[in-house]
Structure 1
Amino acid sequence: MKLRTFGLALFGVAGLVSLSACKKDEAAPAPSTPTATEQAKPTAAAPAQTPPAPVGHSTIHGVVKFTGAAPAGADIAPPSDPACEGMALKDQPVMAKDGKLQNVLVRVKGPVAGAPAASQSSPPVVVDQLKCTYTPRVMGAQAGQPIQVRNSDQTLHNVRAMAGGKPLFNMAQPPSMPPVSKATPPDVEMIQLKCDVHPWMKAFVVVSQHPYFSTTGDDGAFSISGLPAGTYTLEAWHETLGTKTAQVTVKDGETAEASFEFNGSDKG
């Protein structure tokens, strides 16, 4: 295929354009230049995503409850970094509202027959660094699915990922750097993200061999869809309160209910 080189002096860019793909003598449209206001706007993090659900048509949803008094969070000294302005000054792992518990990862425990595999081309799990805080704090990922870490702060962060005591990656991420994207290892169940520049920053990625997981919001609710009919053991994990399990049977095309309850005295 013959290629011609068009000198686009108007734009200061040189490009190779296929004659079969473009009309002869037709100029390419000029790229738009963002205004100063648009450049100043923070980029919102994309929602965490999971691979497409399989052929199953069943759903499990429910709520994670919390009773008792929530443990007090650890104080964080006000940072001098202006990019951190507005961040919470307490590290509060137990976030309960109206008796509902946030940041609990609920998943089907063990393998699920017929579950689709994930790969580096699967939609990523996205975590952002905003006001010197990882958002979200707890998320799920399928083994092989990419984890994408963004920096929406105008400051340097350092993304350090650990699985137990095993380092997975450790990368400096200045504000101008593109997102860091790494495949989720197939042989780990928990990844912790930390920032060496801002040591209070932490996030947890719970890794499963299938896409049947959900993280509770401030209403304590979770929903797992696309399941084949069957009987499953659900596992609810919280970073400081530990793990609870429940057995649930769901019929084809129907929705089953499940619930968990944690207490302020639970340890994990």
Structure 2
Amino acid sequence: MKTGALLGMSGLIAASFLAAPLASFAGGTVTGKVTYAGKAEQKEFLFSKFPNPKFCPKIPNKDVMDGDKRFLKTIEVGKDGALKNAVVSVRDIEDKAFMDGYGGTDVVAEFCDFQPFSGIVVNKKMFRVENHDSDPDDPKSVKGVLHNPHSFEVKGPSSSTIFNIGLAEKGSKLEKPITLRQEKAGSFFRLQCDQHEFMQAFFLPVQNKHYAVVKEDGTFELKDVPAGKHKIMAWHPFAGKMEADVDVPEGGSVKADFQVKK
């Protein structure tokens, strides 16, 4: 599967001001919804072509499988067109205190699935993965199902390895700082298991605390955004990205809706 390419798209952005004074004046709030005008997309894999073909289908989320087929839901669309797994963030604020204090990003490998599917990272800060899998019914995997988290910096069609480390036992962990050399050019972070290709996760680099992964219905809320004009971006690893300019009122809120289509 070709990964890392941000798909071309156009979008419709609706922004409106809502006068809603707050008791304290710590900035304003940005709310909205991210929707997708196209159809859901997924890639299919056969469990039988990968290690642990009896254990991996035990995943509790049966929506990602059908018999011997495992699905990687590259674009998942919910009710009323909600674009699931999109990340929204303020792009024009560089908060050194936030970046210095960021504790790191955590991922778990559970039932041959990386969780979460999408999130954020901070350049030069820690990225952690913990293996939760073992199979008592398989003598070779009693101590652990081998996962091999392989991370990449992705920019357009190109990607470069950041780390590639095997986690052989249940409870084994890796903790590595990540370096994104093309962050300012729009790169993102991708994680894939070299043992099970359908295990993938994607992360947007941010430089401030004003970000959110959208809810199931595609909505988001960014609180305490400094008053003034800002650039807000909605990003999805397969659907693409789009931006809106908003004017955040002190003690009030502004609405920014993103409708993404290829």
Give TM-score scaled by structure 2 length. 0.71
Which residue of structure 1 aligns with residue 86 of structure 2?
A: 104
Distance, in Å, in 1 between the alignment partners of 2:191 and 2:162 is 10
Which residue of structure 2 aligns with residue 225 of structure 1?
A: 223
Aligned length: 207
Listed one character per residue, the Cα deviations across residues 13-64 of structure 1 (whole Å, up to 9, x for unaligned) are xxxxxxxxxxxxxxxxxxxxxxxxxxxxxxxxxxxxxxxxxx9532212111
Listed one character per residue, the Cα deviations across residues 109-128 of structure 1 (whole Å, up to 9, x for unaligned) are 23x16553424x63322111
2:59 aligned with 1:65: no
- Paired residue secondary structure (1:76): strand
Q: 1:143 touches 1:210 (CA, 8 Å); kept in 2?
A: no
CA 144–210 in structure 1, closer or farther in 2 if over 3 Å, else same: farther
Which residue of structure 2 aligns with residue 92 of structure 1?
A: 73
Distance, in Å, in 2 between the alignment partners of 1:86 and 1:254 is 47
- Paired residue secondary structure (1:157): coil
Aligned alpha-carbon RMSD (Å): 2.2
**Aligned AA (1:94):** I
Which residue of structure 2 aligns with residue 168 of structure 1?
A: 162
* CA radius of gyration, larger in: 1
Which residue of structure 1 aligns with residue 195 of structure 2?
A: 197
**Greater relative CO (CA pairs within 8 A, separation 6+):** 2
**Aligned AA (1:105):** V
For 1:119-130, list aligned pairs within 5 A: 119=100, 122-130=102-110
Deviation at 1:177, TM superposition (A): 4.4
**Aligned AA (1:208):** V
For 1:34-183, list aligned pairs within 5 A: 56-71=26-41, 73-79=42-48, 81=52, 82-87=54-59, 88=64, 89-98=70-79, 99-110=81-92, 112=93, 116-119=97-100, 122-154=102-134, 155-164=145-154, 165-183=159-177
Distance, in Å, in 2 between the alignment partners of 1:195 and 1:184 is 17
- Paired residue secondary structure (1:96): coil
Identity %: 23
**Aligned AA (2:214):** T
Which residue of structure 2 aligns with residue 14 of structure 1?
A: none
Q: 2:95 touches 2:208 (CA, 8 Å); kept in 1?
A: no
Q: 1:143 touches 1:186 (CA, 8 Å); kept in 2?
A: yes
Give TM-score scaled by structure 1 length. 0.70
Higher helix share: 2
Q: Structure 2 unaligned runs (5+)? A: 1-24, 65-69, 135-144
**Aligned AA (1:108):** V
**Aligned AA (1:182):** K
Deviation at 1:93, TM superposition (A): 1.1
Deviation at 1:246, TM superposition (A): 1.0
Deviation at 1:222, TM superposition (A): 1.6
Which of 196, 213, 216 in structure 2 is aligned with 1:215? 213
Distance, in Å, in 2 between the alignment partners of 1:149 and 1:205 is 13
Q: 1:96 touches 1:218 (CA, 8 Å); kept in 2?
A: no
Which residue of structure 2 aligns with residue 38 of structure 1?
A: none
Which residue of structure 1 aligns with residue 254 of structure 2?
A: 256
